[in-house]
């Protein structure tokens, strides 16, 4: 290449490597960012192939300023994960317009490696790991092409880059296993490194839970020791909302519980949770958790809260009881659980007062509320209408169409108006059994809200008013509700058998679901064995090798020893005499062996040209064949025909037909 142009094939390799590096960011960054990269690369290719306009220094400087301004307008800052990656991708795209020297090309390739690494700031899934390996191979192949532009064809470059990465794998494995780990997340990550994470909101307004139901993202996965409970028992407790301002619900900070604040009854359920990052501290648990995992706070409202926001996958093991007695109610807790703003729901207050006069018993009042929902044509819907400033009365006596949070909030307001301590609980309901790995997948769309009332002699008792309107939601899950709505079927209008027939999947849907389950199981294994390899797993590995309580100093020494050992093995393999794999060299050595049998042995110091001249003098009858074979060999080995397949085949045939 000269100072102004780049070899077309080298440029093609560079553009392909950049495309592989940038592709994953198309799912995370605005498409115009990727568009700038593609447009710049295409522009440079047009310059080399079609003689398009070549921008001068002033134009390139203007484009850079325009790009900086566009990124700043998009993010209102140039610092952070997203603006940082956007700048890296757009500016390396503009770099295509000023490529002049080999150094420019090498710098671009190393920036591609950095962009590949940056994709892991958005996730560490299996497909992303596989794509990163593919992109790294492409960048390495481009680097090989840059250093040997005419020596290897495309398949040979890819093969060589793959071999280089494979040879680096043992060293990578030693460093991965033995490099000292720290507890917690990486330090120095930008403030937006955890943006975009989905999780349970810390307040509840009409529509808060419904917005989560639109997300199919995984919230957590659960492995039970033994068979899981029935679908209707899978209430995953997240947050408890006791405060009510007439429209929204908030948490009232519960005191910390040093011991399990309830009396367990029935069978204990032990299970293992793999919680996805949410940037929230809430740790879902099967109602009710009996133990507190390490690093968690157990509240007197039976919720678990991590000591810091959960920004990476978290594993914890719990034991829960689905039957329990929570005992007496503290005076302050009772006061909070009866609080109702004076102007909130006057018609609801009147209705609750009537039930209180007619029944008196808290259980009968609760049953009256559930009967009211069934009798007055209430509808459970995924698309409820908006409510105004008095949502309780508007829902109970107006729209009568709502999602789970509408029913839970209205029910609790009615109970408080009747003098029954009550509160809203939000979390998740149900889960999808992945038969490929025999574990439950709980998604954000499984988010749910229910109520708890306090009864003397029993403590807090769960009441789910959604079940009075849409038992399909409790027994079959939200996906079943969504599919029934799509078919125009009213909830509760069909028998259980009829619902199951309607929801029966076709063979293609079954196959697609099975494939999705296997992919999820593979991703989970990738996480457990690769992504989740932290300080605790490293300590367990070293303990299994007989290295208990190893210090950082000893671990560093072990790492150094491992690296030196791998490097020593590399050196021994490198210095070992190798059998030539060059077809031209193999054919020429065979030619030399044939001449040696005739008494013409090539001296170790003798070059091919000198040997051919000496052999031709001694065997004039073979001079022409010796000259032709040697000429083909030298052209293939040292000349411009290093990858000429026809000449290689010709050399092989001439050597095979050579007779002495």
Enzyme catalytic residues: 404, 448, 464
Going across the sheet that includes 314-325, the strands are 314-325, 263-275, 218-224, 439-443, 432-434
Residue 68 CB partners (closer than 8 Å, separation 6+): 78, 87
Query: 440, 443, 406: which is closest to 428 by C-alpha?
Result: 443
H/E element, 59: helix 57-75
CB atoms within 10 A of CB 229: 16
Tokens (6 digits) for 536? 């605790």
Residue 156 CB partners (closer than 8 Å, separation 6+): 643
Output DSSP code: residue 293.
Answer: -
- Helix segments in 470-506, DSSP class H: 471-476, 478-486, 496-503
Query: 600, 584, 579, 595: which is closest to 633 by C-alpha?
Result: 584
CB atoms within 10 A of CB 133: 13
Tokens (6 digits) for 182? 């720290």
Confirm if 651 and 632 have CB atoms less than 8 A apart. Answer: yes
CA distance 137 to 420: 66
CA distance 539 to 9: 49
Question: What's the first-to-final CA gap in the chain, in angstroms?
Answer: 46
Query: At 547, is the secondary structure helix, strand, or coil?
Result: coil
Query: 657, 611, 604: which is closest to 631 by C-alpha?
Result: 611
SS3 content of the chain, % helix, strand, coil (to 5): 55, 15, 30
- Sort 528 into a burial class: Cβ within 10 Å, 0-12 / 13-18 / 19+: middle
CA distance 88 to 615: 61
H/E element, 450: strand 447-455
Output DSSP code: residue 280.
Answer: S
Half-sphere exposure of 160 (CA within 13 A, CB side): 16
- What's the CA angle centered on 216, arms 230 and 270, to 5 degrees? 35
3-state secondary structure 174-208: HHHHHCCCCCCCCCCCCHHHHCCCCCCCCEECCCH
H/E element, 410: helix 404-417
Q: Which residue has the tokens 């007439």?
A: 246
Query: 298, 193, 203, 191: which is closest to 244 by C-alpha?
Result: 203
Tokens (6 digits) for 235? 């209430």
b (16+ CB within 10 A) / e for 477-497? bbebbebbeeeeeebeeeeee
Strand-strand pairing, 422-429 and 439-443: unpaired
Query: 194, 195, 218: which is closest to 274 by C-alpha?
Result: 218
């Amino acid at each position: 290449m000269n100072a102004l142009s780049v070899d077309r094939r080298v440029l093609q390799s560079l553009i392909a490597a950049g495309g592989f590096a940038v592709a994953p960011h198309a799912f995370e960054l605005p498409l115009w960012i990727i568009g700038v990269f593609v447009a710049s690369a295409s522009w440079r290719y047009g310059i080399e192939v079609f003689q398009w306009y070549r921008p001068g220094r002033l134009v390139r400087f203007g484009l850079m300023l325009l790009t900086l301004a566009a990124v700043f307008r998009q993010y209102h800052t140039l610092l952070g994960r997203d603006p940082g990656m956007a700048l890296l991708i757009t500016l390396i795209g503009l770099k295509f317009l000023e490529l002049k020297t080999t150094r420019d090309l090498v710098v671009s390739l190393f920036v591609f490696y950095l962009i590949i690494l940056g994709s892991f700031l958005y996730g560490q899934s299996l497909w992303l790991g596989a794509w990163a390996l593919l992109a790294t191979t492409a960048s390495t192949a481009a680097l090989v092409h840059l250093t040997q532009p005419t020596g290897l064809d495309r398949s040979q470059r890819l093969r060589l880059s793959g071999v280089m990465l494979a040879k680096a794998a043992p060293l990578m494995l030693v460093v991965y296993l033995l490099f000292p780990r720290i507890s917690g997340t990486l330090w120095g990550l930008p403030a937006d490194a955890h943006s975009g994470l989905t999780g349970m909101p810390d307040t509840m307004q009409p529509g808060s839970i419904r917005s989560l139901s639109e997300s199919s993202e995984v919230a957590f996965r659960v492995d039970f020791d033994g068979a899981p409970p029935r679908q209707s028992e899978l209430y995953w407790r997240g947050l408890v909302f006791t405060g009510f301002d007439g429209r929204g619900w908030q948490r009232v900070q519960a005191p910390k519980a040093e011991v399990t604040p309830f009396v367990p009854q029935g069978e204990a359920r032990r299970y293992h949770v793999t919680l996805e990052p949410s940037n929230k501290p809430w740790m879902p648990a099967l109602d009710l958790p009996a133990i507190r995992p390490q690093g968690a706070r157990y509240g007197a409202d039976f919720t678990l809260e991590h000591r810091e926001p959960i920004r990476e996958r978290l594993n914890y093991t719990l034991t829960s009881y689905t039957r329990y007695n929570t005992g007496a109610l503290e005076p302050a807790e009772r006061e909070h659980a009866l609080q109702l703003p004076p102007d909130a729901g006057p018609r609801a207050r009147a209705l609750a007062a009537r039930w209180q006069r007619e029944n008196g018993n808290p259980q009968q009042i609760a049953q009256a509320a559930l009967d009211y929902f069934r009798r007055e044509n209430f509808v459970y819907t995924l698309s409820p209408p908006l409510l105004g400033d008095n949502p309780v009365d508007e829902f109970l006596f107006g729209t009568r169409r709502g999602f789970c949070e509408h029913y839970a909030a209205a029910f609790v307001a009615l109970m408080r108006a009747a003098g029954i301590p009550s509160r809203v609980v939000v979390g998740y309901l149900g889960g999808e059994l992945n038969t490929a790995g025999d574990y439950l997948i709980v998604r954000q769309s499984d988010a749910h809200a229910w109520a708890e009332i306090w009864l003397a002699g029993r403590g807090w008792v769960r009441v789910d008013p959604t079940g009075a309107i849409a038992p399909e939601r409790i027994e079959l899950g939200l996906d079943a509700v969504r599919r029934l709505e799509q078919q125009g079927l009213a909830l509760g209008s069909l028998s259980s058998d009829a619902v199951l027939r309607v929801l029966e999947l076709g063979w293609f849907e079954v196959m697609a679901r099975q494939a999705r389950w296997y992919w999820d199981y593979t991703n989970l294994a990738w996480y457990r064995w690769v992504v989740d390899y932290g300080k605790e797993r490293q300590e367990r590995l070293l303990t299994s090798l007989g290295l208990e309580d190893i210090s950082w100093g000893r671990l560093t020494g072990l790492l150094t020893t491992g690296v030196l050992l791998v490097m020593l093995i590399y050196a021994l393999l490198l210095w070992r005499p190798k059998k030539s794999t060059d077809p031209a060299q193999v054919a020429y050595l065979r030619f030399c062996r044939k001449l040696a049998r005739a008494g013409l042995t090539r001296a170790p110091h003798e070059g091919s040209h000198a040997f051919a001249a000496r052999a031709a003098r001694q065997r004039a009858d073979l001079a022409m064949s010796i000259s032709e074979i040697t000429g083909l060999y030298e052209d293939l080995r040292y000349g411009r025909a290093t990858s000429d397949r026809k000449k290689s085949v010709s050399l092989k045939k001439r050597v095979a037909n050579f007779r002495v």
